[in-house]
Each structure stands twice: as structure tokens, then as C-alpha cells.
Amino acid sequence: MDTWMLVAVVAVGVVSTPACIFFILFNFSPHSLIRLSFRIRQYLAGMKIKYVGDENIVFCYGENDVAPRPDQPSIVFVHGFSSSKDQWITCFKGFPKDLHLIAVDLPGHGASSVPPEKVQLDLEYVVETLRLFIDLVGLKDRKVHLIGSSLGGAIVGLFAAAYPDRVEKLTMVCPAMQTPINSEFAIQVKEAIAMGIENITTSHCKLLPTDVPGVKAMLEVCCYSKDLINSSSDQMWKGFLNLRLPKTEFYLRLFKGITSTENLDVLERTAPKITVPTQLVWGTQDQVIHVSGAEVLRSKLPNCQRVDLIENCGHAIDIDRPGAFTKFLLTFIRSDVLMAKEDKKLQ
């Protein structure tokens, strides 16, 4: 009897311990709970966290267990403004296991180091740090497939124009640009420019929340589906906010550095120089970068091979329509293989 009582006590302890941990983290350290959930998702998706750098910067990045292959390019993912490599966890989980995948934390984002104050933060700087990162992870002499979203979409586009010999394919996902129809966020950016960069504060950018209502307002703009907002408690949003707040000063500094009249149409002006095979992906309900930008880029890109518009989808495509997003990306990734098979049939 005593033995079974001991077994029962141990069993209850084993079952209740995770629940107790969850209760403690949820109520007293929700940001730790969110960080833990990301670590679990990274593990389940096969994303291993690594670091690389030089005397000026340290990059954190995620990489899967697949070695680079000579018959297909490595895929390098670049996230958007104030996001991180975790934006691409869904792709790591959903992509075939024969593809070599790398997702970088841009400078000052995720777990990468923050550039010192003396560094001039602008688009050229971010493009050059991406080049440095690709060199440091051993892909200097190999062409890569760049996939970038939002600000990351503009960055990979500018990179492909500057270094066409280093890019096999390019995917721009709702890239940051001036569009024929202004989105709600675009109007806010233009108002910020008009008032003077030096006067910009976090209140002038919906992507820089400083309280829980601000977090919800950001998600309202970024997501078409409101399920995420409605299904999570304010306590969890408090945790999400606490993860972001230490970086808000840097995000504001970066926002000021890249926000200018000249930068609004830089991707459109550069598009004719992007000669590599290119894919555009956009959510039709994007409230950050309006979908009308897709036709502008399609008409100016010399080698635009696909324009994939996703219905019922906002700016956060990986949240709104992750399955459709992965499907469209893989269709473009595998297009060369499919074309080779068709050519073989015709021979």
C-alpha cells in the first residue's frame, strides 16, 4: 500500500510539475513563457540556433541539419522590421528535408548584436551586413536563393541588384516600397517624414508599440485574421511586449535611418537592375504595404517569373496563411526541377 501511495504521489508530481511551471511563468514572467514556446517551436522545426560574427557584429541565425548541395542553392531567409528569424519557423517545418535553410537575425534584431551609435543605419548598411553574414556562414562562393519579407523583402531585392552573381533566385514577400494605393501604415510613414525625421517618436509608427493596446493595434494592422488577437490574453501580450521593449530604442533609430523620401521608391527604381529569376508574394488584404505594389514591380522586373497573391491574407503572411505561403514558395523553389523534367520529356 505504501509503495503504491509513493508511486501515486510521484505520478501526480510528474503530471502537475509542468502545470505549475506554466502557472508561474504565465502569471509572473509571461515573456519567459513566450521565449520558451519559441525554443520548442525551433526544436520541432529542426531550426538549430547558431552564432557567427567578426570584431564589429555578432549574428544569431537558425540553420537546419542539411549541408549545402552543389545541385541546388542554399535558401537564406531575411525577416522584416522589428521581427526575427522566428518568423520563418513555419517554413523550416514545412519545407522538404533536402533543402539547406538559413534564417538570419538582422543587426539589432532577435539575438544579433546591436550596432553601436556611431554606425549610420540605412538601407545600404543593412544590405552590406547581409553580404557579410552570407560570407561568414561559408556561402561566399555559392549562389543563394534569397527570401525576404517586408523590410527584408526590400533588402534582398537591393542585394540582388548589387550582387547578381551571388543570387540564384529571389523571392520578395510584400517588400517595403511606395505603392500606388497608400496603406494605413504608408500614410503614417509619409506623415512622419513630413514632420521631420528628428521629431519622430514611437507614437508615429504602429510597428513600435509601447503598451498592450499598442501591441493589439500593431497586430490589427499586420494580420487579416483576428483569431490570434482574440484568442490570447492581455497577460500574454504583456509578455510579448516585454520581449520587444528592450529593443524599441534601436528599432526607432533604424526606423529614422531608413525613413526618407528617397527610400520610399528605392526598390521601384532599382527593380530594372534585378535580373535574377524573381517571385513576388503578397497578401491581398495587406494594410502595411498595399498589394498594388505587386503590379508596379512586376512591370519593372526583367525576370519576374511568378506573382502569387494570397487571398484573405494581410502583411503577416506566415500567420494568416502559412500553408498557402509555404506552397507558393516551394512551387518557385522547385520550378527548375519541374522544367528540367519537362525538357527531358521533350527530348
Catalytic residue among 150, 308, 318, 320, which? 150
Q: What is the 3-state secondary structure (H, E, C) of 85-119?
A: HHHHHHHHHHCCCCCCEEEECCCCCCCCCCCCCCC
Catalytic residue among 74, 145, 204, 286, which? 286
The grid coordinates listed for 323 are 500553408
Q: How far apart are CA 119 and CA 140, in angstroms?
A: 24
* CA contacts within 13 A on the Cβ side of 163: 21
Q: Is 286 a catalytic residue?
A: yes
Q: Is 150 a catalytic residue?
A: yes
Q: How far apart are CA 128 and CA 132, in angstroms?
A: 6
Please compute Rg for the chain using Cα positions. 22
Catalytic residue among 204, 315, 318, 320, which? 315
Q: How far apart are CA 51 and CA 105, in angstroms?
A: 10
| Catalytic machinery residues | 150, 286, 315
